[in-house]
Amino acid sequence: MTAARVSIQKEDFDLQKEVAALRAGDARVGAVCSFIGTVRDRNDGSTVASMELEHYPGMTEKAIEAMIDEAHRRFAILGARVIHRVGLLQPQDQIMMVAVTSAHRGESFQACEFLMDYLKTQAPFWKKEQTPEGARWVDARATDDEAMARWGITVSNA
């Protein structure tokens, strides 16, 4: 049985276990690229005490599955796994993971970066930070839209 490509969860994850499951039984894999995002203690000049993430179940998984399908169309990858946490998180907590396998490193690096850029702009998550000034929703950034543009995808989130 193969692991799901997308998990939205409150629980933390173990990168080593996730990569082992992604590689399991596939001798074609010559490269694995992974990215882990963590909650920072500062954003836009303010201290961040915590971050709360919300999503729309079903819609979020479907959107990320479509992103992975697009990565498979663009790059010669063998597998991909995305985990994104929701709920209340603290600085230094792992918030998300992208792992990609391929025969060669170049495809894994590119696909991993593509998926990260896509997730930052297109994944339907809502993030609220707790700061000394009070709670605030995290807005999209123009730099995230610019990152997508280099893949030939025009978005306007900021």
**What pLDDT was estimated at residue 157?**
63
With beta carbons less than 8 A apart as the criterion, state whether 109 and 37 touch. Answer: no
| Nearest to 41, CA basis, from 97, 96, 92 | 92
Mean pLDDT per 10-residue interval, the chain, length 158 residues: 83 97 95 96 89 94 96 97 97 97 97 94 90 86 78 74
**What pLDDT was estimated at residue 1?**
40
**What pLDDT was estimated at residue 147?**
78
Unique residue bearing structure tokens 């998926």:
115
| Nearest to 123, CA basis, from 63, 80, 41 | 63
Distance separating alpha carbons of residues 104 and 102, to the nearest angstrom: 5
**What pLDDT was estimated at residue 158?**
54
Strands 6-9 and 77-85: parallel
**What pLDDT was estimated at residue 44?**
81
**What pLDDT was estimated at residue 95?**
97
Q: Which run of H or of E encompasses 20?
A: helix 15-23
